[in-house]
Structure 1
């Protein structure tokens, strides 16, 4: 971790329980400069490569339970998306086609030609774009509990009042949430959980501190503001054909549920459906045991 970022984290919030956000000793961290951004990446293990992409309201730290399992027999790569976590906060490039280029650059820097992709939330959108642009580099694609701009019932999804934040952003909104990042993020952690208590206080403090870093909330709003362009890009990609790799579409039982597979059947030829029981959107906080087992079983079966 860069010294300035560590200092800012210490100033913004109390330290969370150290073990809750500690990757196994097999992991190391590095910053990879690529595609106009510096991407903070954790890398560990040996074997077939798997790249884990996080979503909004979290960082790559969300994947620790899955990383502990996969590192036994995989090379596990966990970036923070551009603008979020400990990655740099560039002024632009938040469309998912550009961020797919970030992933390609990270893989190139690590000497990885092909990988399984596992993603959640906005990470789904980056992973989808990567798979559409570089299908030869994707062994399997696992997408968890979030729609894909421009794919399937996207226009109907946008009408859901719970998703008002898709259109929330701009300088005035940034002023409204400045210094109130925890209040804003609590809304997501509470309303999108089957049981908000499962999103622990330590996790809330940890992620609120990261989203309070200079430029982080601006970057988060920019992720959503890019959805219109993402929809255009995804529709254009699908005009060239559906995704050929095996796709595992997972929904939280009390969140996206079977809709995840419904969406992906518009975009891929080989889709398996999975539902994480007794969970809302925050699958790694609400039911990590079932989520890890589900992903592990899918990867092992390929």
Structure 2
């Protein structure tokens, strides 16, 4: 069902007791954008105009993030994406997942491959590769939970804003304002109380079972663990390409949107909308 919405506006749907925000712009083959931790669907603002000229661009606030209600739970994220696709009557979709959102995309590809035309994993964590002992140690969640208990969300936001993963390489004030707004909006429900499904304990997807076209993308200036993870994941996926965004850190889509969008468009124009069969 093509989108009939010209403006990119807030929309909501209910699933399993949560009211989830999404946005829907453009027309054509559907592309679903899934944000990372502490962020929300607004992170994709630099991509919407570029993609919506050729595709139907759908963005979702994962439960507990942005303006979506509910408690954050990584395993529920996959069911929420499936529910959104049913809500919009999407028979197949291309999925772009950033950082923690890449975990959602990879799990979805392993669980319901027939839904997906292709997948983009942006700045994925090492845990996706399933390497023994590879957690997401570059995000010290236990320390952040202790910090929230001791000093509240302001203390966390101050510490997180200094973390290497959220350091912007661009001087564009619009990108900086956007990032600040998203972090300020993050409620930290997964830090303030025991998480429903701790991200540290979630199983990694069986990468070898993902037989779709995959683009593994990341910033050239991302932290070493994420660069290494991208290389490892690309090696394990049978139909993967790896590309690097120059002059960009972990938030590559904000740091260098022109180069990022060009890589996305090139991949999506080749694979989005294709029948969800195995890659050749």
**Alignment TM class, shorter chain as reference:** 0.7 to 0.9
Partner residue in 2 for 1:84: 65
Query: Does residue 37 of structure 2 align to residue 39 of structure 1?
Result: no
Q: Closer, same or farther in 2 for the Cα pair 1:52/1:204, shift >3 Å?
A: closer
Partner residue in 2 for 1:207: 182
Q: Could you tell me whether the CA contact under 8 Å between 1:258 and 1:274 is conserved in 2?
A: no
1:116-144, Cα deviation, whole Å (9 max, x unpaired) = 00111111011111111110001000001
2:133 is paired with a residue whose SS is: helix
Partner residue in 1 for 2:190: 219
Q: Residues 12-27 of structure 1: matches in 2 within 5 Å?
A: 26-27=7-8
Q: Residues 1-302 of structure 1: matches in 2 within 5 Å?
A: 26-90=7-71, 94=73, 96-147=74-125, 149=127, 151-153=129-131, 155-156=133-134, 158=136, 163-170=138-145, 173-188=148-163, 192-193=166-167, 195=169, 197=171, 200-211=175-186, 216-219=187-190, 226-231=198-203, 234=204, 237-238=205-206, 242-255=209-222, 256-257=226-227, 259-266=229-236, 268-302=237-271
CA distance in 1, matches of 2:28, 2:13: 21
CA distance in 2, matches of 1:59, 1:220: 16
CA distance in 1, matches of 2:178, 2:210: 35
The structural deviation recorded for 1:156 is 4.1
Structure 1 residue runs of 5 or longer lacking an equivalent are 1-23
TM-score (norm 1): 0.77
TM-score (norm 2): 0.83
CA distance in 2, matches of 1:284, 1:27: 19
Q: Closer, same or farther in 2 for the Cα pair 1:31/1:246, shift >3 Å?
A: same
The structural deviation recorded for 1:27 is 1.8
Kindly tell me the number of residue pairs found equivalent between the two proteins. Answer: 262
RMSD value, Cα: 2.7
The structural deviation recorded for 1:225 is 6.8
Structure 2 residue runs of 5 or longer lacking an equivalent are 272-280
Partner residue in 2 for 1:9: none
